[in-house]
Amino acid sequence: GCDGDISRLFRVIVLGDAAVGKSSLLRCFAEGPAGGVATPCPTVGVEFYSRTVPLSPTGRAKLQLWDTAGQERFRSITRSFYRSAAGVLLVFDLTNRASFERVPEWHREVGGDPHPPAFVLVGHKCDLVAERAVSAEEAGHLATTLGMVAFVETSARSNLNVELAFQTLAGGIQRVLGRGGDTPLRGCGGIRLIPNQSHPRPPARGEPREHCQC
């Protein structure tokens, strides 16, 4: 489609331990609600996708989504991407407590810059209820402690809250850049907004798609 009315381009990186589902989240979001085919653009060994999202009140932004999966052991490679990122989805596996306990370490990797990006904490694989090892309360508290925009629970397999996670991050980036004031998506199931905004808007509903080939 035509990108002439897109006023912002946000670089977004997805970080977290290996095997937490970073690539499946990215592909699921990049395919979009219509269930299209995500086309990665390879560059210097790191793939990226593009997807346009709405911004409050009437704008749109293109998210440039960088996939660093598979390079977790080579942080000198991925660190160069941190500095230009406007937003970070920091992903852990809700069934793997060790991946949650390493969230602060990942946050320090990026958050120490003079102008840190907006962060959203993502607890992935929430469809695996019986195997859950981290509570929503605990994860929400960590997100608050680390100064993140929100905590969102997602499942790429069920396409639950995948759109919500990225759209919440886009709203957080907008506020960090000082170009917006609306609260994104307060009150949705699976999301805990960090309450530092003054003008909440009505809750939105993120209905899962039927089919997501992730």
134-169: pLDDT as tens digits: 999 999 999 999 999 999 999 999 999 999 999 999
**Reported confidence tier of residue 178, pLDDT bands at 50, 70, 90:** confident
| Bridge-based pairing state of the strands 87-93 and 8-15 | parallel
Mean pLDDT of 101-114: 85
Please enumerate in sequence order all residues whose Cβ is within 8 A of that of 187, keeping only pairs 6 or more positions apart, or say none. 203
Residues paired with residue 178 on neighbouring β-strands, in sequence order? none
- What gap in Å lies between CA 81 and CA 210, rounded to an integer? 34
Predicted TM-score of the model (pTM):
0.76
Estimate the crossing angle of helix 75-82 against helix 103-111, to 10 degrees.
50
Q: Does domain 8-193 have CATH number 3.40.50.300?
A: yes
CB 93 within 8 A of CB 21: yes
- Give how far Cα 85 sits from Cα of 46, 105, 192, Å: 14, 17, 23
CB 13 within 8 A of CB 85: yes
Mean pLDDT of 171-178: 86
For residue range 65-107, list pLDDT tens digits in order.
Answer: 887 665 555 555 556 667 778 999 999 999 999 999 999 999 9
Q: Domain segments of the chain: what residues?
A: 8-193
- Name, of 7-11, 129-133, 187-191, the range with top average pLDDT: 129-133
